[in-house]
Amino acid sequence: MTEDFPIQASKPFSQLPSVLADLGESAQRVFLEFFTAQIRNANTRQAYLRNVCRFLDWVESRGATLPEMKAMHVALYIEQLGKPKADGGQGYSAPTIKQHLAALRVFGAFLVIRQIVPANPAADVRGPKHVVTTGKTPVMTGEDARALFASIDTSKPSGLRDKAIIGVMVYTFARISAVCDLDISDYYQVGRRMMFRFQEKGGRHHVMPAHHTAIEYMEAYVTALGEQDGPLFRSMTRKRNGFTRRRLDRREALAIVKRRCKAAGLGDRFTNHTFRATGITAYLKNEGQLEHAQYMAGHASPRTTKLYDRRAQEASLDEVERIIL
């Protein structure tokens, strides 16, 4: 059964906690079915797999079985995740704990449906309260963003690529996963306009017109790339200082962001998500409409879009500077 396991787990299927193996081959097949057939998003699949395996390890460490788990046991486990490491816990934040609990709820419900356990022990467990009014993603000022773009050396192919991918994130509000998933054919012309076609969460296609600055960066990069098909943003090879055929992934994109920001003297706190928030904030600051920003960002709710709006923080900084001694 191990060789049939089509996802990259944190450890081989044959080494999963014995509490799963003790339930028999049918339980193991249900486990496989849940993570292969029920969860389509690769990032969610990996996160839920990691969280469920951690819980199964915890159950095994207590010498218990999965059918014996009740709501009080899951509540104890969730509480332990939030305790400081000095007190024997994991020190996880509230959002991380809520993600663990969400994984256990859907996994437990699936086990009930497949008649592996009699009841879902995580169904009635409440997670920690977490109220978000402003996102935590660090946002660049317009001055910092201009300094970053100006610092990128475009005499090299890597510089053209890096400037283009950061430009696309800023001027389209796209998630880094959607940017990395772009193919060359997803940057195309309609009349006099250049367009981007992104594949967002849930398999939705989201089309965005290209900003004139993004077009400038993209045209220079696409010309250097010299390809007609395949992935748009690619890894580099040191031998020829050219492009491979392998698609750039989000971790490599993060390394690019860290390296370029550090070289521009902006520190190392900025992430891929920074440019999504930076673009939205700049748009709203220039009298853009919230409902339009919501559409461009592909958000289902305007409340999500508001989390990216940091105009109030800039206003607060201006007020702080009025404190003159």
Confirm if 95 and 105 have CB atoms less than 8 A apart: no
Tell me, what's the pLDDT at 16? 63
What pLDDT is attached to residue 11? 44
pLDDT over threshold 60, residue 8: no
Average pLDDT value for residue range 207-226: 94
Residue 2 is predicted with a pLDDT of: 41
Compute the distance between CA of residue 279 and CA of residue 124 in angstroms, rounded to an integer: 40
pLDDT tens for each residue of 54-99: 999 899 888 888 889 999 999 999 999 988 888 888 888 888 899 9
Q: Residue 103: is it exposed, middle or buried by C-beta count within 10 angstroms (0-12/13-18/19+)?
A: buried
Buried b (16+ CB within 10 A) or exposed e, 67-77: bebeeebbbeb
φ, ψ of residue 228 in degrees (nearest 5): -105, -15
For the residues 169-190, what does the mean pLDDT come to? 93
Residue 254 three-state SS: helix
Taking the C-alpha atoms of residue 171 and residue 268, their distance in angstroms, rounded to an integer, is 22
User: What average pLDDT is seen over the chain?
Assistant: 84
State the Cα–Cα distance between residues 255 and 260, nearest whole angstrom.
Answer: 9
Beta bridge partners of 209: 195
Euclidean distance between CA atoms 192 and 96, whole angstroms = 45
Amino acid, single-letter form, for residue 180: C
pLDDT digits (tens, 9 = 90+) for 133-163: 455 778 888 899 999 999 999 999 999 999 9
Q: How far is 195 from 226, CA to CA, in rounded Å?
A: 19
**Its pTM surpasses 0.85:** no
Determine how β-strand 193-199 pairs with β-strand 187-190.
antiparallel
Q: How far is CA 117 from CA 54, 66, 108, 228, in A?
A: 18, 7, 8, 53
pLDDT for residue 6 is more than 70 = no
Contacts of 219 (CB under 8 A, 6+ apart): none
Residue in the block written with tokens 């496989």: 32
The CA angle 87-93-95, to the nearest 5 degrees, is 145
Give the pLDDT band of residue 176 (cuts 50, 70, 90). very high
Amino acid 310: pLDDT: 62
Structure tokens at 15: 């080494």
Please tell me the distance from the alpha carbon of residue 102 to that of residue 123, in angstroms, as a whole number.
9
pLDDT number for residue 21: 76
